[in-house]
Amino acid sequence: MKILMILSKIFKTDSRVRIEAKTLIENGHEVKIIVWDRKNKYSTEENVENIQVFRIKNKGLLRILPSDLFRNPLWWRKAYKKAIEIKKEYDFDVVHCHDLDTLQAGVWIKNKTNCKLVYDAHEIFGYIIQNKVPGFIVNRTFKMEKKLVKSIDQMITISTPFEKYFKTITKKPITIVMNCKDLIYEKYEPKKNKVFTLLYIGSMSSIRFFPQIVDLVGNISNVKFKIAGLKGWEYEEVERLSKKYENIEFLGTIPNKDIMKLTREADAIYMVVNSNFNQPKMTLFNKQFEAMVCGTPIICSRGTNSGDMTEKLNCGIVVEYNEKSIKEGIVKLRDSKELCENLGKNAFKAAKERYNWETEKKNLLKVYGEIK
């Protein structure tokens, strides 16, 4: 089957999209992808891991307009036109849209070419923009998604809470494909750090207790905190604050190839979020599954889907979203090597038995097996 994916983010750093595309190719499908290169950082066309990538550059009005609210309609139109151009030489059977900000283009492409349409929702877009834009725009976003999903043939999402939500707006088949990772290690390996090492890799946003977490951990003795992530959000402030403390190591933006090595070496992973926001409350983060396959315990928030999984599998500890509780959680793990090892072993066992990509990819392949 020939598949055309559409993505509005950076393909090279989107681990979910990359592993889905590679899995489909390994199982006999062909995959090409249209990507929005918002920062004009990459070539217009490139082969990445046997996947042909076509990039839409931020030029003309796409570059001039002040926000995505205005840019998105232009992006949809450009993605649609590129797809129709690609169709002349690559007669795709399916257009696979990653998130709502690609779905309008996908519907237009389906209507024009009569191909099948798969909607892969990594998030609930209306919840992402809540508290960032006026309420009427949020409401319009929810209504737009409800209208567009009428045209899809299959839907993919990342967790049970997301599935429950999407079942309220569509009767089309929904399949959960979690962000599980490949089993790259054969066995659990105890940590070897002389000083208890906490690791965070991700966006440094305020809903993840940044930048306050820097001062908090900076004042905890016998703890080293490594921080890495892409620029944006509180990145510059976190970098500035990190220089105040000898026990904070700001790594900046790191190559993807270093993520699992650092996760494997760490004593614990920090993944605390504000559970008052629907998106982080409902999702299961990449870090959850990276920590599992590395046999590393995780610190999550109570009242979140991630926290519920952590408690169920006994693969980390759950804390409240406040300084006192977060500090107590870090100190609890710092002061008990035995607890850390037991939680890490539980995490690795869960990955080996269930939460790995070899198991999870069957759900993705099942979706394509049902497309006629």
Interval 71-121: pLDDT, tens: 999 999 999 999 999 999 999 999 999 999 999 999 999 999 999 999 999
Read off the tokens for 218.
Answer: 């900076």
Read off the tokens for 228.
Answer: 């890495």
Q: E strands within 125-256?
A: 154-157, 174-176, 196-201, 223-228, 248-252
Domains parsed from the chain with CATH numbers: 2-180+356-369 (3.40.50.2000), 196-353 (3.40.50.2000)
Return d(Cα 269, Cα 265) in angstroms, integer. 10
The dihedral of CA 194, 200, 53, 58: what is its sign? negative
CB 216 within 8 A of CB 241: no
CB 80 within 8 A of CB 105: yes
Q: What is the pLDDT of residue 68?
A: 77
Q: In which element (H, E) is residue 32 found?
A: strand 30-37
CB 262 within 8 A of CB 191: no
**Burial of 176 from C-beta contacts in 10 A (0-12 / 13-18 / 19+):** middle
Q: What is the pLDDT of residue 131?
A: 79
Q: E strands within 158-274?
A: 174-176, 196-201, 223-228, 248-252, 268-271
Q: What is the pLDDT of residue 133?
A: 85
CB 213 within 8 A of CB 185: no
For residue 360, CA distances in Å to 95, 330, 355 come to 21, 31, 7
Read off the tokens for 263.
Answer: 């996760």
Parallel, antiparallel or unpaired: strands 268-271 and 196-201: parallel
Q: What is the pLDDT of residue 12?
A: 80
pLDDT digits (tens, 9 = 90+) for 139-170: 999 999 999 999 999 999 999 999 999 999 99
Return d(Cα 141, Cα 132) in angstroms, integer. 13
Q: What is the pLDDT of residue 55?
A: 96
- Residues ≥6 apart with Cβ < 8 Å to 17: 5, 7, 9, 11, 33, 98
Maximum Cα–Cα distance across the chain: 63
Q: What is the pLDDT of residue 372?
A: 78
**Burial of 150 from C-beta contacts in 10 A (0-12 / 13-18 / 19+):** exposed
Q: What is the pLDDT of residue 58?
A: 87
Return d(Cα 224, Cα 254) in angstroms, integer. 18
Helix (H, G, I), strand (E, B) or coil at 324: helix
Residue recorded with tokens 């139109």? 77
Q: What is the pLDDT of residue 352?
A: 97
Residues of the chain with pLDDT under 70: none
